[in-house]
Amino acid sequence: MLNDIDKLQIENIYSQQTVTNADCCPECKTLAYPPVLVCKKCGNRRYPEDEVEYVWHKKGYKTWSKVPLEGKCTLVTWTRLWALPDGFDVRYIDFAIVKFENGVKALGHLDCEKPVAGMTLNGDTIKLREIDGNDFYGLIFRE
């Protein structure tokens, strides 16, 4: 479970927002994960929300909303990775690709004893590791 400090960290760090949320196009409501600058379905464009004064920032621009990635999802495929890259001192990590009910697919860590493709899991956000002194909050999928 995330405490208030964890939640504040996730809210305040742009890259963390990218990990734990999909972006929703204000025109056609298509979800994008990771964020895109041009909607795949309707071609609507996305501009940096905090750069209000940019010359190409149009009037009437609607910001893209965030949809948290959490809750029920279906396991697509998974692996136990033994050959980890530099920076990891554990023997292995379980990874999974899942599909959420809203159609968004995502990669995350897997916490499940006997995974089977097609099974239902629950997606959550937890602190997974530290990178260069900064906490990384990512998705984990559990039974």
Partner 1 sequence: MRKVIIAGTGHTSFGNLRKYKLSEILAYAALDAMENGGNDLPPIDQVIVGNMGAGILNHQTGVESAVVSTLNLEPASAEMVVNGPASGASAFKVGYMAIASGMADVVLVTAGELMRAVTGWQATDFVATLTHPDIEYPYGITLPGYAGMYLRAYMDKYNISDEMLSSISVRDHHNGMFNPWAHVQVEVDKEAISSGNDAKVINPMVAKPLRMYHTCPVSDGAAAAVLVAADLPDIQKKLKHKPVFVSGIGSATDTHCVHNRKDLLKLDAVRLSAEKAYKMAGVKASDIDLAELHDAFIFLELCLAEEAGLFPRGKAIEAVLSGKTDIKGQIPINPSGGLKSKGHPVGGTGMSQIYELVKQLRGDAEKERQVENPKTAMAINFGGFGNNVVTTILQNS
Partner 2 sequence: MSGAYELELSLRPPEIKRIPYPSKYITLASGEKLVIREARREEIPFLLEIIEPLIRVKDDFYDIVAARFYAELLGLYRYRVRDEFCLVGSINGVVASLCNSRMINEKSGMSYHTMTVKRGLRCGAQMFAAKMEYHIEYLNQEEVYIVAESPIGFRRWMIEYQLQPRFEFQHELGGPPSYVLTKDLYYQTKDRLVAGIRPVPDELLNICETLKGPEEYPQIPNWKPRWCK
Residue numbers of the site for partner 1 (CB under 8 A)? 15, 18-19, 33-34, 76-88, 93, 95-97, 105-109, 117, 128-129, 131, 136, 138
Shortest Å distance, C-beta 92 to partner 2: 10
120 binds, among partner 2, partner 1, none (CB under 5 to 8 A by kind): none
**Distance in angstroms (rounded) separating the CA atoms of residues 76 and 141:** 12
User: Going residue by residue from 65 to 94, which x/- string records binding to partner 2, judged by CB under 8 A?
Assistant: ------------------------xxx---
